[in-house]
Amino acid sequence: MSLLRLDIHQLRNLQASSLRPDPHINLIVGPNASGKTSLLEAIYLLGRGRSFRTPRSADLIAHGTDRFSVAGRIFREEREISLGVGFAEGERRLKLDGRIVDARAELLHALPVQFIDPTLHTLLGDAPKARRQFLDWGTFYAETDYLPAWRRYRRALEQRNAVLKSGRREAAILWGRELVKYGKIIEICRRRYVEALQIRFKEVAEQAELGTELELRYLPGWAGGKSLEAALHDDLDRDIRHGCTHSGPHRDDFTLYDAGRPVRRRLSRGQMKLLTCVLALVQTCLPARPVCLLIDDLASELDLENQALLTDLIVHFNIQIFITATHPEALPRLGPRAGRTFRLERGVITPN
Ligand SMILES: Nc1ncnc2c1ncn2[C@@H]1O[C@H](COP(=O)(O)OP(=O)(O)O)[C@@H](O)[C@H]1O
Ligand SMILES: [Mg+2]
């Protein structure tokens, strides 16, 4: 799979842009505020139906206009497919192969996109939300049972939290059974996924000489050793007091260990960024279908040595990649290996 063509209309500072990307490495170079992140945002929108910067589609409309659109053509399973995302008159429209689709999941299947932002080193830090999203995205592609179970779990969680707030103990117990039913499926899927990720990650990390004792571990979102059923039972009084569910896969997490100790807080920002970039690269290669990877400001936090290491890995992964940089010299090793370079200047894109 690769993105063959991209047309952007009135998205942030990109007024009207068209590009024909390279199937492998694309470099996007431009000064600050030229529109580099907006260009990655456009590709992300096509594959996810929403932005990584804002939940409000209206924010994406170029100032002074009243609509935006992004259209793409991808090559997949021996044929070309068109994709489109637009927003006008307060309404978002998703299109796949000329027809309007309701669910974002259809776009997710058509164009798997992963985004690495410049603050990626924080992924392995304190806040688990980003790790859960990372886990979610990967498990969605790896396990077909995952999405339906997750949807039902989310619904049951909302219902349980609502009845907890009104102190309805019996109803909370009933909704708890739903949580257990779907929570078990989610746990199995995520556990299997982290194991698969761990195997590939370990291989790549060892080849790149990043360490021989790196290990990813799935951490279920309830007290160790207990079943989810038992955790919900034991938590019931506390859940009623706080009006929310403390245990369950909505609190899941994973940690990276090195020689049995969590890497968090032990490594420098550069080392963390390198390891998380490798993790994200490995992740994009796990789904059965190829993925488009977006890396914003690759050079930030990475010294030249780590950058060179990552570049060597990137060129060996057979996926389509879009990488941004403020100037070509920021990526001395990658620049010459890019299939295509695009220059951005105040929202105007020109191929090099
Ligand atoms: N809705 C919008 N309409 C017009 N310009 C916008 C909008 N949202 C953001 N911008 C501007 O677009 C420019 C490009 O932003 P960005 O893509 O983040 O640039 P870069 O990543 O190259 O630094 C910035 O000057 C920003 O202020
Ligand atoms: Mg930017």
Amino acid making up residue 342: F
pLDDT score at 247: 97
C-alpha closest to that of 16 among 351, 350, 347, 352? 347
- What is the sign of the dihedral through the CA atoms of 40, 324, 214 and 197? positive
Atom of ligand 1 nearest to the CA of 31: 22
Residue numbers of the chain with a pLDDT score lower than 70: 287-288
Residue 309 tokens, joined: 């290491």
Distance 59 CA to ligand 1 centre (A): 11
pLDDT score at 287: 67
pLDDT score at 123: 86
Q: Which of 32, 38, 296, 323 to mutate to test the pocket of ligand 1 (most atoms within 8 A of CB)?
A: 38
Q: Where are the beta strands (DSSP E) in the chain?
A: 2-11, 14-19, 25-29, 67-76, 79-88, 91-96, 99-101, 113-116, 214-219, 253-258, 261-262, 292-295, 320-325, 340-345, 348-351
pLDDT score at 102: 86
Q: Which of 9, 10, 12 to mutate to test the pocket of ligand 1 (most atoms within 8 A of CB)?
A: 12
According to DSSP, the residues that pair with 96 across neighbouring strands are 83, 99
Contacts of 103 (CB under 8 A, 6+ apart): none
pLDDT score at 234: 96
Least distant ligand from the CA of 67: 1
Contacts of 321 (CB under 8 A, 6+ apart): 24, 25, 26, 292, 293, 294, 295, 314
Residue identifier of the C-alpha nearest atom 12 of ligand 1 = 13
Tokens 């688990």 label which residue?
128
Angle subtended at Cα 330 by Cα 328 and Cα 336, rounded to the nearest 5 degrees? 50
Distance 154 CA to ligand 1 centre (A): 34
pLDDT score at 288: 66
Q: Which of 8, 10, 13, 27 to mutate to test the pocket of ligand 1 (most atoms within 8 A of CB)?
A: 13
Distance 36 CA to ligand 2 centre (A): 5
Least distant ligand from the CA of 117: 2
Atom of ligand 1 nearest to the CA of 35: 17
Least distant ligand from the CA of 58: 1
Query: Which residues are placed with Cβ below 5 angstroms of ligand 2, an ion?
Result: 36-37
Atom of ligand 1 nearest to the CA of 326: 22
Q: Where are the beta strands (DSSP E) in 225-278?
A: 253-258, 261-262
Distance 176 CA to ligand 2 centre (A): 43
Distance 254 CA to ligand 2 centre (A): 28
Q: Buried b / exposed e across 94-131, counting CB within 10 Å, b at 16+?
A: bbbeeeebeeeebbbebbbbbbbbebbbebbeeebebb
Helix axes of 169-207 and 129-142: crossing angle, nearest 10 degrees:
80
pLDDT score at 318: 84
C-alpha closest to that of 85 among 152, 8, 15, 157? 8
